[in-house]
Amino acid sequence: MSMDRRDFLKTTAVGTSLGAVASAGLFAGVANAAHHEAGDGLASESAAAAEELREALAKIDASFRDPAWRIRTEEDLADARNSLFHSLQHGLEVYLEADSARPNFKRFVTPEKKLLGDNPDAVYYHAVVDEHHSYRIRGNIAGATYTSFTVELGTLDGGNSVGVGGTLNDTQFDVDKDGNYEIIASATKQPGNWLALPKGSGSLSTRHYYEREVGIASDRLHHIPLMIEPLTELPPPPRATDADLAAGLRRVTKFLITSIEPFGARPNLPKYVSKVPNQLPQPTIGADDNANTGYAAVDNVYSMAPFVVKPGEALVIRGRFPKCRFSNVVLWNRYLQTLDYANRTSSLNRKQVKLESDGSFKIVVAGSDPGVPNWLDTEGRPFGMMFWRFMLPEGEIAPLTTKLVPMADVAKA
């Protein structure tokens, strides 16, 4: 009689252990199940770390009931949990098996994984690095409007970025006629294209911005050639141990607990962030030090504010695009996740905006079609965040004026 795969696994020690963990699940006491299967005399550090992760998930989930989150509906709570599990997905992808000696670029955000203020007009990659190693980065511009590499500080163990350690954009490194480039990232200066890794370097993020009619983040066919490798060839790593798995799980846990917090929880928000609904701060070159903001781009000037738009209302934003490398506006939920850009218009870049006859723009934030160009679709949400980016702007940026009007008055507002 033939034996199927499930029966075979059940007859092995490995199958028994895996079955117990799968049955127990991450939320049902992994530590106890794994300890039982391992035997009374064999403690498991990874089981303890898995229990710590489970407890962190439960604690964060419970915190959503805290007034600071301002969660009032089942939909709000679903959004919160969605953001939690998107962050868990990223933590597992990047930090579970992170090896700064042998890093790999992982897609930071996608239409199905959104966190930390994603952008439909950009593709981002993320790799764990440190200043004790040297790396060769090879890639191709692949038609991007802007390409850059940014070193984050304080992220090696999964912690949230405490600032920018260095950055290099495509005006600062050589690119050949076919769009190819090679960059060395290291603590000591190297000839040619060089990205410094200062003390405390923990990760490296790439930005590939595009201004197109269709947002690049949801283009499944577009490929950006990119790789990172140690500058010196290394032997294969030793077999991973239980302690290695435990360390990886703890990095994931730290990423979760340091990257998820209520909007406005930090005592000193950047000047570009308004707590007043429907009022965007003046985007000003040099007014904010993005180098001290985790995962920020030092070449960007930002403006951010909550929007509050009830059914039957519309928020009209007027302004002018400055001369710059890139600009767009994005709608997020309160957890800094973009709204559904794959199926709706929840962001607009300069290529997508229809300008007025005088060269200015009029953009409308509303829950239903206002019948005019440049509609940003809130999905019927009465509350969210609007976020502007101006990449390497030249000269003064015109104010972003806002006016809340009845839907019937949008055309003349």
Q: Is pLDDT above 80 for 15?
A: no
What confidence tier does 291 reach under pLDDT thresholds 50, 70, 90?
Answer: low
- Exposed e or buried b per residue across 286-311, where buried means at least 16 C-beta atoms within 10 angstroms of its C-beta: eebebeebbbbbbbbbbbbbbbebee
Q: Is pLDDT above 90 for 118?
A: yes
pLDDT tens digits, 231-271? 999 999 999 999 999 999 999 999 999 999 887 666 678 88
Residues contacting 31, CB < 8 A, separation 6+: 44, 47, 48, 50, 51
Domains of the chain as residue ranges with CATH: 17-63 (no CATH), 106-259 (2.60.120.1600), 290-412 (2.60.120.600)
Percent of the chain with pLDDT over 70: 88
Q: Is pLDDT above 50 for 205?
A: yes
Q: Is pLDDT above 70 for 289?
A: no
pLDDT at 263: 72
Q: What is the arrangement of strands in the sheet containing 122-128, beginning at the earlier edge strand?
A: 106-107, 122-128, 201-209, 146-153, 163-169
Are 46 and 34 contacting, i.e. CB atoms less than 8 angstroms apart?
Answer: yes
Q: Is pLDDT above 60 for 27?
A: no
What confidence tier does 20 reach under pLDDT thresholds 50, 70, 90?
Answer: very low
Q: Is pLDDT above 70 for 390?
A: yes
pLDDT at 121: 98
Residues contacting 210, CB < 8 A, separation 6+: 121, 122, 123, 143, 144, 145, 216
Average pLDDT on 81-106 reads: 97
Average pLDDT on 128-148 reads: 98
Q: Is pLDDT above 70 for 82?
A: yes
What confidence tier does 64 reach under pLDDT thresholds 50, 70, 90?
Answer: very high
Q: Is pLDDT above 90 for 393?
A: yes
Strand 163-169, strand 146-153: pairing: antiparallel
Percent of the chain with pLDDT over 90: 82
Q: Is pLDDT above 90 for 43?
A: no
Q: Is pLDDT above 90 for 22?
A: no
